[in-house]
Chain A
Amino acid sequence: MTKNVMIVGVGGQGSLLASKLLGRLLVDEGYDVKVSEVHGMSQRGGSVVTYVRFGDKVYSPVIENGEADFIVSFEKIEAARYVQMLKKDGTIIVNTQQIDPMPVIIGAAEYPASIIDEMKSKGVHVDDIDALSLAQEAGSAKACNIVLMGRLAKYFDMPKEKWISAIEKSVKPQFVEMNKKAFELGYQCS
């Protein structure tokens, strides 16, 4: 059975490393894996999305409406933007950080601040965490992505050591300790 994970956020937030980590972990576990993202605008502050699919045999590289088992969102309204992709019994992990898109900056639109409550009221299983604060606690705001991976790991039936080993293989040596701490904070927080 193929499992589907989406990683969504704002260009420049580091979702690339998260999908790299996840891809490596799943290949090491012996799964067939496909990871898909669209490059080009990724550093320009646009909405970015990565699909990670794994199972015995994966064909399509993309995830469609109602197919995601997990959505990991690096930002609040990006979670809402893709919520229709979630399976009815799926889980959406949301970093509660707010990043204003250009229409909000120039006053052409309002930031829907209570969007997480609305998702919950619609029956979406939302797991919201302040990943930015936890990342800062670990030593760098940039470790948000690993905090969120730590959170995702809780839902996976896979020993924590495997995740740690994938982190060791995916980040530069000088950042391993900090990222391990970030992973732990995401994993432990309630």
Chain B
Amino acid sequence: MKELMIGNKAIARGLYEAGCAVISSYPGTPSTEITEEFAKYDDVYCEWAPNEKVAMEAAFGAALRGKRSACCMKHVGLNVAADPLFTMSYTGVNAGMVICVADDPGMHSSQNEQDSRHYAIAAKVPMLEPSDSQEALSYAKLAYELSEQYDTPVLLKMCTRVAHSQSIVEIGERVEIVKTYEKNPQKYIMAPANAIKRHPFVEERTAKLVEYAETSGINRIEDGDGNRDSTHDFGIITSSTSYQYVKEAFGDSVAVLKLGMVNPLPVKLIQDFAAKVGKVYVIEELDPIIETHCKAMGIDVIGKDKFSILGEFSQKSIEAAFDMADKTVFSLDTAIPVRPPMMCAGCPHRGMYYVLAKNKLTVLGDIGCYTLGSMPPLNALDMTLCMGASVSGLHGYNKAGGDETGNKTVCVIGDSTFMHSGVTGLINIAYNRSNSTVIILDNSITGMTGHQQNPTTGYSIKGDPAGKVDLESLCHSIGINSVRVVDPYNLEECERVVKEELAKNEPSVIISRRPCVLLKYVKPKKPLHVNTEKCRSCKRCMKFGCPAISFRDNHAVVDETLCIGCGVCAQLCPFDAFESEGE
């Protein structure tokens, strides 16, 4: 059966068909749908873990026990999970294990543009890189075969364009694979005496995998139309979505070495290709991994000198590099205002941000929807680094700043990010006693990635009742004495409590609690409207940045299709111009 699928769904299908029985993941764009799609199958186990390290170790445990397993994450998630990855390379697996990692060239929704292929090289683990949905499905299945045959976890690398592009795939049947677990301390206990014996195994395995890369067909030469010599006096080595752009630009008129396995890379295959075509271009997004490999072999390829190290490619960037004719385009004289993403109308984060901005506090931020609080008009954030860094960073900031910062600085972190890696930072605050005020923006869901459950919501990935972390009790038991809960729709309460907690000379936590307005169970109230008699055009409501409020004909107007009746604007208006129905 043929179906149009995004790459992530195709991976989920491939994992399923290969008999994957356990997936543990942490959501992260552009990887999230792999796990969400897998969770739709009935006869498998699937979960959201608190973070990627926990997820990878859970998947390792499942593979150790004898069931094919997987874990999925975005590129920066692999930083979190790097610790188990490097040593799993030594232990190997029992049943197969696949790690799906999705890079985000162009940073559509990420804080950096790191290239995950470095991890495959550093951890000495094979990495497959599909270029469309059909390959995503096939490579997921192949990854398990390689994992078991070569006794290694296998990295399956996606990028945004492959993860989120739909193309046609052929669906197959599921197989069931179960291995028996046998105690094997020399293989699975990575104490020095054992680990030192496993390292040679890793090096031998890589040598065998290079042989596989030379001959298996996952890396293939497409010879062009056979008259290549008369059209182009060069060949191209490429992989992933770049392969599609090359084919779009050149069709079959150029010889291509298409790599499906990007670690370890073949040697002889590349030498043969280079000998045949003469001049070789390497076209790869982000870092010059293939290029560096070729140059180390003494093949003088052209790569990053011609193709950017930054961002995504397209057929256009390749055509431009080869001086192919530009297409004619329309252009307008009027400047078009930008349309950045923003916090939704009625977003509970907005009220708290308004209070923080109004009081001119220094605010260390974190990763999630609430990073949007950095945008105008609130401009409420000073720093965003990585998951959990707001809390640990605040501790160091206050230790360095002493009395000067403790009562003017807070950090903000979402409920899911707090569970991911904020809690360890809070333990440091409590243990090493910094005068820090941590604000947990608890909207009862993992928002930015599209509503995934987490340990604070009380529900599993399938929506079934699950364990639930009680944030107040957790903070108390860590050693935070002052734990307050506020409603971010109540500006007066938020401002009062923030000031009180900042004034205290001890660690404190404020939980700003209100579920995300996009959650199905959150029923909107009736929209407000502006009494134009009362509105005096002071524009104070415009400083709040609610997308439902705009300014027309010299007074504020509420867009009734967007307003959910949260009423925060009414608290801001000095003239009581915002009214709810019936007033």
Contact = CB atoms under 8 A, between A and B. Distances in A.
B161 A62 contact: yes
Nearest to B378: A106
Interface string A14-47: 0000000001100100001111111111011111
A131 B165 CA distance: 27
A112 B166 CA distance: 34
B338 A103 contact: yes
Contacts of B369: 44
Contacts, number: 181
Q: How large is the interface on B (under 10, 10 to 19, 20 to 34, 35 or more residues)?
A: 35 or more
A59 interface: yes
A118 B332 contact: yes
A33 B341 contact: no
A33 B340 CA distance: 29
Interface string A118-147: 110011100000000000000001000000
B29 A77 contact: no
B341 A36 contact: no
A56 B39 CA distance: 34
Contacts of B247: 59-60
Interface residues of A, number: 59
Contact of B330 (A23, A67, A83, A105): A83
B342 A66 contact: no
B161 A43 contact: no
B523 interface: no
Contacts of A41: 108-109, 341
Given A36-B164, A46-B341, A59-B248, A64 B316 contact: yes
Interface string B311-340: 000111000000000111111111111111
B376 interface: yes
Contacts of A60: 244-245, 247-248, 314-315
Contacts of B341: 11, 41, 44-46
Interface stretch (B79-87, B178-186, B459-467, B539-547): B539-547
A102 interface: yes
Contacts of A64: 314-316, 327
A123 B328 CA distance: 13
Given A39-B164, A102-B375, A119-B330, 14 more contacts: A27-B168, A33-B166, A39-B450, A40-B108, A43-B344, A43-B450, A59-B248, A60-B315, A105-B549, A106-B542, A106-B545, A109-B338, A112-B334, A118-B334
28 contacts: A11-B341, A34-B132, A39-B30, A43-B344, A44-B342, A44-B343, A44-B344, A44-B369, A59-B247, A64-B315, A65-B316, A65-B329, A66-B328, A66-B329, A80-B334, A80-B336, A83-B331, A102-B339, A102-B376, A102-B545, A103-B337, A104-B550, A105-B547, A106-B377, A109-B338, A112-B334, A118-B333, A122-B331
